[in-house]
Amino acid sequence: MPSLNHYLVLSAILFAIGTAGVFVRRNLITILLSIEIMLNAVNLTFVAFGRALGSAEGQIIVFFVITVAAAEAAVGLAIIIALFRHHESLNPDTFTLLKW
Amino acid sequence: MTPLLAAQIVLTLFVFVMLLNSAAVMVYFERKVAAVLQQRMGPYLVGPKGVLQPLADIVKLLFKEELRPAAADRILFVLAPMISATAAFAAFAVVPFGASTTFFGLLDEPMRLQVADVNVAVLVIFAISSMSVYGIVLAGWSSNSKYSLLGGLRSSAQMISYELSYGLALAGVILVANSMSLARIVDQQAGAFYGIPRWFVFLQPIGFLIYMTAGIAETNRAPFDFPEAEQELVAGYHTEYSSMKFSMFFLAEYINMVTVSAVATDLYLGGWHGPFLPESLGWIWFLLKVTAILFFYIWMRWTLPRYRYDQLMAFGWKVLLPASVINLIVTAAGVLYFGV
Amino acid sequence: MLFYLFATAAVVTSLLVIAQRNPIYSVLLLIASFGALSGLYVLLDAPFVAVIQIIVYAGAIMVLFLFVVMLLNPPAEAIEAHRLFGRRPMIVGSLLAVLLAIELVWALTAAGGESGAFPGASVSSVAEIGRLLFTDYAFQFEVTSILILVAMVAAVMLAGRRSTQEPREASADATIARRGE
């Protein structure tokens, strides 16, 4: 019978997987996907707590998080397209112009 | 194995088999209706009046050679028709098609003729139809060919554009019915008001037109079938497919048509309610109404010329979406004022 | 039982997302992960959020990702850069992620979370969510709509073509020509 702790542990693991993706991968799109994994882990935490406390506010916040994630994905992908046009590459290591 | 569980399993299998049969019947129906509209005879050689033509088609499709282009992505090439077909069948799981029956007293309490009675059924249908975009876009991409990619991208852009108007038309019905459960929406359309049945199409005429238009665009049928037009793009996203995989797409298209018609019947045309017949035979009325809408679909295909792609997108965003938003606002004002 | 099924599916598909070379497979696996999470939301008595997750996240945002990956069609060297899994970043990164996981699990479960089943009351009706959205959270709701408008304008501005760059036909032809080989 899953309890609150089960859901919290699961979302902690998912968040860590997303973070690992951001650290390890060298492809801009996969980095954005890992950020989406992290946002989903947070959503799961909200819904689990909302259920545990018996209020609908957890679901309301998830509603807003999903919307913000959509907006952020759109802008992030637009930036990736603009970057790709300049360098023909999706590897973040090639964007070193501002490095000193 | 309680009787209820057995009845549910039988119902699920029944719905699955009936959907397959309906696709076969649709093949024949479409060709005959097209023939009548074009003043010629349709299939007439195979079986009396050509009734066995779908069987001949199925046998032909089964015996064709299974091709896979060498440069095609292996996993995605096979996955795409599976996604299309699965989404098409899955959407029918929440559509009720008959009143509650006890199957001649076999069950203790009446069971609704619906595979799954979810109380957000309308949203579930919307969700599954947005999954069917993936079958098309992956088919276009994995075939590794110019025509397929163009067809796939155009088709999926068209589908997600018309999904907005589709959803807003659904929102209008949800406002009037005050529930998202398809079963409850149909229940509210029972009875008549001085001879006129209380169907929602009379309360939401513009919504019905928007829903049908968006539904035709969602299922990639004429006049919105630019992405699979033979004259333009060879065959669009299913150019490189043959035999069983092609028949999966074919099947998915017909079953999507049936699902859109069935949902339109449930939401706007009163579902299984009708005069003269008792409630338990309501599924006959349901069949008649769905057949009428499917006839309308086929009639549209063989009468109207095709929209060009930019005209199609302009129509979806600049005409249909504002119309559905205004429909929603007027409906909300009406519900507030009349207190329905 | 269902919880373990969905939880394992979510974790396995998320791990595969960050381990795939081909970004299209990553996107598809992430969609599968969203499906598993949607199942978990249903188990948590939140059917509305579950369906919204499928419609918005898996049905729209991921289609956007898929379109971008297909249209950019990065050449093979970009997908399989030879330092994709260079030794040091992978080891250090994974180690840090594992540390983060341990720390989060400790922080979340040591704060007095009960380990019994969920308490009885739950609010799952869409009517209640709608009521809250339009009364208590109305301001946030309106601000979110402005946020989406801003994001739309920003995306069109950033990704759109400037007049000094190459015309539309040339780059679209380039993508399609590369695909057909």
Question: Domains, chain C, ranges and CATH?
Answer: 1-108 (1.20.120.1200), 125-181 (no CATH)
B11-23: average pLDDT: 90
Residues shown for chain A: 100
Buried b (16+ CB within 10 A) or exposed e, A23-50: bbbbbbbbbbbbbbbbbbbbbbbbbbbb
Rounded CA separation B169/B288 (Å): 23
The region of weakest confidence among B328-337, C6-15, C50-59, C161-170 is C161-170
B285-309: average pLDDT: 89
**A54 reaches C (C-beta below 8 A):** yes
Residues in contact with B191: Cβ distance below 8 Å, sequence separation at least 6, in sequence order:
B197, B198, B273
A10 closest CB neighbour out of C7, C148, C165: C7
B216-234: average pLDDT: 73
Chain C residues close to A50, C-beta within 8 Å = 46
Q: Which amino acid is at B302?
A: W
The region of weakest confidence among A73-82, B108-117, B178-187, B229-238 is B229-238
Q: Which amino acid is at B178?
A: N
- Round the average pLDDT of chain C to a whole number and report it: 80
B285-307: average pLDDT: 90
B164-187: average pLDDT: 89
**B16 reaches C (C-beta below 8 A):** no
C63 closest CB neighbour out of B73, B156, B180: B156
Q: Which of residues 135-164 of C touch A (CB under 8 A)?
A: 137, 140, 144, 147-148, 150-152, 154-159
**A31 reaches C (C-beta below 8 A):** no
DSSP state of A69: H
The region of weakest confidence among B32-46, B263-277, B300-314, C159-173 is C159-173
Cα-based distances in Å from A30 to B52, B140, B190: 51, 22, 52
Rounded CA separation A72/A39 (Å): 11
Q: Facing residues of B196 across strands?
A: B193
Query: Which residue from C minimizes the CA distance to B145?
Result: C180
Q: Which two tokens stand for residue B156?
A: 């999926």
CB B50 within 8 Å of CB B25: no
Percent of chain C past pLDDT 70, that is, above it, reads: 72
Phi, psi of B101 (to 5 degrees): -130, 165
Query: For chains B and C, what is the number of CB pairs under 8 angstroms?
Result: 64
Rounded CA separation C153/B1 (Å): 58
The shortest C-alpha distance from A97 to chain C (Å) reads: 18
Phi, psi of B219 (to 5 degrees): -90, 10
Output B54 or A66, whichever has higher pLDDT. Answer: A66
Contact A4 C113 (CB under 8 A): yes
CB B287 within 8 Å of CB B119: no
Cα-based distances in Å from C174 to B173, C74, C134, C158, C162: 46, 12, 48, 21, 18
Cα-based distances in Å from B283 to B169, B256, B287, C82, C91: 25, 20, 6, 62, 63
For residue B236, what pLDDT band results from cuts at 50, 70 and 90?
low
pLDDT at C23 over 80: yes
Indicate contact of C with A: 3+ CB pairs under 8 A.
yes
Percent of chain B past pLDDT 90, that is, above it, reads: 24
Burial class (CB in 10 A: 0-12, 13-18, 19+), B94: buried
**C44 reaches A (C-beta below 8 A):** yes
Nearest to A29 by CA among C157, C27, C53: C27
Give me the pLDDT at residue C180, please.
55
Contact C18 A17 (CB under 8 A): yes
Query: pLDDT tens digit string along B258-294?
Result: 999 999 998 998 888 877 777 777 788 889 999 999 9
Output B113 or C50, whichever has higher pLDDT. Answer: C50
Q: Which amino acid is at A52?
A: A
Rounded CA separation C62/A76 (Å): 13
Rounded CA separation B65/B241 (Å): 10
- Tell me which chains share at least 3 CB pairs under 8 Å with chain C: A, B
Q: According to the per-residue pLDDT averaged within each range, which of A15-19, B127-131, B174-178, C112-116 is highest?
A: A15-19
Rounded CA separation B132/C117 (Å): 37
Q: Report, in angstroms and rounded to the nearest whole number, the Rg of chain B calculated over CA atoms.
A: 21
Indicate contact of B with A: 3+ CB pairs under 8 A.
no
Give me the pLDDT at residue B326, please.
95
**C67 reaches B (C-beta below 8 A):** yes
DSSP-based three-state secondary structure for C181:
coil
Give me the pLDDT at residue C181, please.
47
Query: Which residue from A minimizes the CA distance to C113?
Result: A5
Chain C residues close to A21, C-beta within 8 Å = 17-18
B136-153: average pLDDT: 82
The dihedral formed by the CA atoms of C57, C61, C65 and C70, expressed in degrees to the nearest 10: 110
> What sign does the CA torsion over B179, B185, B187, B188 have?
positive
Give me the pLDDT at residue A69, please.
95
**A63 reaches C (C-beta below 8 A):** yes
Give me the pLDDT at residue B120, please.
84
Q: Which amino acid is at B232?
A: E
Contact A47 C65 (CB under 8 A): no
CB C11 within 8 Å of CB C18: no
- Tell me which chains share at least 3 CB pairs under 8 Å with chain A: C
Query: For chains A and C, what is the number of CB pairs under 8 angstroms?
Result: 248
pLDDT at C52 over 80: yes
CB A85 within 8 Å of CB A48: no
pLDDT at A38 over 60: yes
Q: What structural domains and CATH numbers belong to chain A?
A: 4-94 (1.10.287.3510)
Nearest to B212 by CA among B173, B156, B154, B180: B173
pLDDT at B140 over 70: yes
CA angle, C149 then C151 then C152, to 5°: 65
Query: pLDDT tens digit string along B24-63?
Result: 888 888 888 989 888 888 888 877 877 888 888 888 888 8
**Which of C54, C56, C68 to probe the B interface (max B CBs under 10 A)?**
C54
Rounded CA separation C62/C158 (Å): 19
B144-157: average pLDDT: 81
Contact B130 C54 (CB under 8 A): yes
Nearest to B263 by CA among B217, B215, B219: B215
pLDDT at C122 over 80: no
Structural domain boundaries of chain B? Answer: 3-338
pLDDT at C116 over 90: no
DSSP-based three-state secondary structure for B90:
helix
pLDDT at C174 over 70: no
Nearest to B62 by CA among B252, B228, B191, B243: B243
DSSP-based three-state secondary structure for B102:
coil
Percent of chain B past pLDDT 70, that is, above it, reads: 92
The region of weakest confidence among A66-70, A93-97, C62-66 is A93-97
For residue C78, what pLDDT band results from cuts at 50, 70 and 90?
very low
Buried b (16+ CB within 10 A) or exposed e, C6-43: bbebbbebbbbbbbbebbbbbbbbbbbbbbbbbbbbbb
**A38 reaches C (C-beta below 8 A):** no
Give me the pLDDT at residue A47, please.
92
Q: Is the bond leading into B223 cis (omega within 30 degrees of zero)?
A: yes
